[in-house]
Each structure stands twice: as C-alpha cells, then as structure tokens.
Structure 1
C-alpha cells in the first residue's frame, strides 16, 4: 500500500497526512470550542452560585438553594451526609460513578448539595474533611492538601508556579541526600517536559486571577452577619450525645487503627440499636 521504495512510502504517508489533516483540524476546533464553552459556563457560576458555608463557632451550616432569596441556617448535628455509587454497563465494559452529598429536610423537601467524586474513598474523605473542620480536628489547609510538602510558609493555598518550584527544590534536596538516584531525577524532568513544563501552572495562576477579577456573587446581609466571628464565650458546644458517640468512635479507631472508617461508624451505630 505504501509502495516498494522509501520514496514511495514517504509520498504515501505525506498524502495520508495531508488528507487527514483537514478532518483533524475540524475535530480539534469542535472539541476545543466545546470544552471552552463548558469551562466558561462553570466559571460564570461564580457570579450566580453561593457556596454552602460551615461555621464551627455557631455549629451551623448555611445553605443557599437555587432560586432562594434568603439563606437557610441548619444546626450542624442535624445535617445528613451520604455517599452514592452508581454502576452501569456499556459496550466498553462496566463503568462506575461516585458522589458525595449532604443536606437536610426543610418544609417537607430535601435541600441538598451533591457533587461527583473519583472513588468511594475520596467521597468519604471529603466528608471527613468537613467533619474534622467542624469538630476542630483540622485547622488549616496544609493538613488536607499538602501530603507531598509542596507548600512553603507564606505560599498561597492554591497550586501554581510555587508548587512546581517547591517540587523541583524538593527533588534536588532528595538527590543531594541520596534519597533518589539520577535515573529518578532524569525521568522526573522527562515527565514534566512531556506535560509542558510550567504551562499548566501558569494556566492555574491565570484562572485564579480571572476568578478574582470576575468576582463572586454578593452574600446576602443575613449570611454576612452569620459569618462574622463570635467571642469565645459565645461559641456553641457539641451535644452530650455527640460527645458520647465520638468517644466510642475514637476508642474503636485506637483499638483497630486499620479498620475502615465506614466500618467503625457502622459498628458504633449497631451498638446503639
């Protein structure tokens, strides 16, 4: 098909490239436009949607449902949370989707917030992050977001150029201390060259600046007042029932540190029935 000589093969390959290039350009333009519109839609939500807020001093959660004019304040201990797993079959195999949600019942209707997650473990981790924050077990973002030491004191909380520079500095430190070898360092550079070096980090920085420029939807006055800090003597206290159940959970975790947190909660729940 490509001919008997190198020249014939070269001409055939060049012809295939020129013919398919037109269709490749159309496909690239179509998908780029589609992804840009999706990206633009989600960015415009910053001016329309008010995120759910958690106030651990008041031990309350603030929801702003779609179409509502006033926020809803819910006691923290009355909130429900769940993890969803869906499974389906296609011609390519079995597909699974996961999600995490939280909400409460208001005037006979369920007011909720749900979002997709990559796995059941990630969905549970999202809830544990919220729960840990509200129960004063987590107090800063580095506890959640910095397992690889990519954030230095004074760095902004988002990923960006600083995380790349910190990662490269960490690589050189590990290389000097002989934690890794030159082959590891070589492939580290190969990987980042193949992923366009610092271009993704520049895009993140640009996106964050754009979000700051576009701004967010203004908070209702009631939510602004609710978000103000309280004197320490006015902080809400957890209920005695929550303290009792939390003590059971902590004791079980200490006894079986490798036991999944879902099984720990299930065992405590069964003991209460």
Structure 2
C-alpha cells in the first residue's frame, strides 16, 4: 500500500542546514490539501482560517458526563442504569474528576522567558516580506484554474502511475 508524506524543509540561514519536517498522510489528496492549507495561510494570513464550529462536547467535562448519563439512561433499563452506571459513577467520584481535570487544565501555564517574548513580537508592517511578482502571477493563475474546476494536481499536470500488477504465475 503506498504511503504519502508531506516534506517541509526549513533552512537555517546561518549554517545552510535543512531541517526536514515529515507529515505522514493516508493518501495523496490529504498531503496536497495539507500543503494547500499551509500555502494559503502563509499568503493570506489569519483571515482565511475557518471559524471553529465544533458543537461536540469535550470528553472529561461535566457536560459530557451528563450527556453520557442521559444516553445510558435512555438506552438501558432502570435496574441496569442504577446498578451499572450510577453505582460505578458513585464510587468513582461522580463529577469530581471532571471538576479536578478542569481546574488542572485552567491553571496558569509556565511563562516564556522575556527574551522569547521580545523575539516573538510581531514585526511592523513595513518589515513584512512582500511576495514577488512571479508568486502573485502564479497565485492568480491557480485561482483561475480552481475556478474552472481544476485541482492542484491537474494544474501542475501531475500524473501518477497506476500500481503495476504482477503477472500471475502458471506453476
């Protein structure tokens, strides 16, 4: 089974060494979409990030506990609910572990050293690196291709060979 990876090389400006970051993917489409997400974020900035629309409850919270309790009650008989769910939860502290984990997760984190905070301040907009004309032209062409229904692989005319099938032996 083929394995796909997204390789991102980070070059050290002082030494010229390259640090390779490897992001494994289950298929080629996932690797390409990961790269596209990074590329668009680098070109467009924070404005292109999708809003967080998760309605799921986080496991370990009190709300999630009560959702599980209601689901268990709806799916099982009263006797099984009382002797199964309620008894086990009573002896395991009911929602106390949820409150403890919430307070542990919300406690203040270790602060960064002052040098790191100074280094991490955003650059003034005058010092931003401006994209080259070639990059702007290529991005415009890609957007036109995407509007026509092409994907990234079609745009670059990437062809992948189909896996070769081994001939069946007649012995």
TM-score, scaled to structure 2: 0.50
Where 2:136 maps in the other structure, the secondary structure is helix
| 1:152-180 deviation line (CA, Å, top 9, x unaligned) | xxxxxx97258x87xx9xxxxxxxxxxxx
Partner of 1:252: 145
Q: Is the 8 A contact 1:132 1:138 kept in 2?
A: no
Whether 1:228 and 2:121 are equivalent positions in the alignment is yes
Deviation per residue, 1:178-213 (Å, 9 max, x gap) = xxxxxxxxxxx79xx8xxxxxxxx99x998987777
Distance 2:4 2:102 in 1: 27
Q: Please list, as runs of the form range in 1=range in 2, the aligned pairs for 1:170-249 lying within 5 A after superposition.
A: 218=112, 221=115, 224-249=117-142
> Aligned partners of 1:207 and 1:117: how far apart in 2?
32
User: Which structure dedicates a bigger proportion of its chain to strand?
Assistant: 1
| Equivalent pair of 2:40/2:48 in contact (CA under 8 Å) | no
Structure showing greater relative contact order (alpha-carbon pairs closer than 8 Å, 6 or more residues apart): 1
**What secondary structure, in the 3-state scheme, does the structure 2 residue paired with 1:112 have?**
strand
Correspondence for 1:113: 21
SS in 2 for 1:135: helix
Structure 1: give runs of 5+ residues left out of the alignment. Answer: 1-94, 152-157, 169-188, 194-201, 268-273
Match of 2:9? 103
Long gaps (5+) in structure 2:
76-94, 159-171
- Supply the RMSD in Å over aligned alpha carbons: 4.3
* Count of aligned pairs between the two proteins: 126
2:145·2:151 contact (CA, 8 Å) conserved in 1? no
TM-score for the superposition, normalised by structure 1: 0.34
- How much does 1:101 deviate? 1.8
